Amino acid sequence: MVMMEVEIMSRDTIKPSSPTPSHLKTYNLSYFDQLAPHIFSPILLYYTKTNSTAALCLKESLSKCLTKFYPLAGRIKDDVSVDCNDAGVDYLEAKVTNCSLLDVITNPNTHSLKQLLPYEPLSCTLQSPLLAVQVNRYQCGGIAIGVCISHKVADTSSLGTFINGWSCTARGDCEAVAPHFELPTLFPWRDTNDDEQEFHATEETNIMDNQALSTKRFVFNASGIAKLREKARNCSSTIESPTRVELVSAFIWKLFVDSNRSKTHPTISKPYSVFHAINLRKRRAPPLAEHGFGNMYVAVNESLAAENDDDIEYCSLVGRIKGAIRGVGGEFVKKLESGDECYLKRIKACHIQLAKGGKEQINFSSWCWFFYDADFGWGRPVWVSPPLYLKNVVILMNTRDGDGIEAWVSMLDEDIVEFESGPEILEFAS
């Protein structure tokens, strides 16, 4: 594939169409915002056809949308709150040459996709704008919209809420998606002292360990997922109704363990952990609003020593992931809401062990069902992709038809070669 060339044509600052009221000028960060890393969460949405007014429509609707999502036009202050000063968000327009949008969709080069983003995801600082957009135009008439949002103020669910709110505004329905900002009240910022500092120190070490990365996309269509479900059913009659996310996550975890064991002696006892990010909005009792804005997730984890083959049977891993995910319910959220610090201490201990090289860890996050409804007036995106930039991270996306799962896997170059070399992956994914 020919490497695409991206040329920035303009840079603007988009501010809210109406000033933020004085009583909303300070937006406090929540406990979950406090624990979130200083990185950008990126997403790319691709549209094959637009219209002659697309550029003006995107700018004007973004300005209107920012009046509802007013913290995004501000700046973080003292790592505790957002100064909602209407400083605005960065808006870039670019043209893409050397390839068509169809080339990108049918044969994506994951390294070149980063050119379609307004920022490098790891470049986020306390002084950075909290949101940036880059609209990339192809000569064929299609566009790719790259969005970066500060993870310090928003998780993937909130990124999806913003993009869907923006697209509804572009279609003239400003009230279709209304964000709720109650999370800082329910989960206020806490003085966690040394625990939080050590947590972020080890987390930064793990995040920055990302040299020579490769990202591969594996597509599990409906028939592949049906095969995984049958595989789980055949080896265990006790696993009830695993979800597609659980089935694919367990499969990738098994390949991860198998490929790591092949590089060392199989009997070496080294923990192999899986972390899975869980959206807590619907798991609280009563559930939070669907469009609750901010960070509202935890990472559940499971570990195994993998000292013998029984430990890494596929059905066993499905059961472990299923149990960990479904163990997060109302009581778990209630403890967090009451100020329980056990979660922070447990996650910190895992980060420390990982930083010391005491285990191998793979991290999952499901981005299913957040982005494919983003219609700015010229139809739903034909494709959505999450550019990856961290070691041993897997992002799961639903396919456009909703029947399959795209797994975006990011690993060190030598690890991804080992990971995809086994014949088993081709039996279930393309």
Residues 223 and 177 in one domain: no
Confidence bin at 390 (pLDDT 50/70/90): confident
Radius of gyration of the chain (CA): 21
**pLDDT digits 0-9 by tens, 118-168:** 998 888 887 899 999 999 999 888 999 999 999 999 999 999 999 999 999
Average pLDDT of the segment spanning 221-233: 92
**pLDDT digits 0-9 by tens, 94-116:** 999 988 898 888 888 877 888 99
Residues 205 and 172 in one domain: no
Q: How many CB atoms lie within 10 A of CB 340?
A: 12
Q: State CA 209 to chain mean position distance.
A: 18
Residues 176 and 208 in one domain: no
Domain boundary residue, one of 135, 169, 186:
186
Tokens of 309: 């083959």
Domain boundaries, position 402: 193-428
Distance in angstroms (rounded) separating the CA atoms of residues 348 and 361: 14
Active site residue 276: no
pLDDT at 264: 58
Distance in angstroms (rounded) separating the CA atoms of residues 325 and 20: 39
Residues 139 and 283 in one domain: no
User: The pTM is what?
Assistant: 0.92
Distance in angstroms (rounded) separating the CA atoms of residues 191 and 339: 11
Domain boundary residue, one of 158, 186, 214:
186
Per the residue annotation, which of 151, 200, 276, 291 is the catalytic one? 151
Residues 160 and 294 in one domain: no
Active site residue 79: no
Domain count, the chain: 2
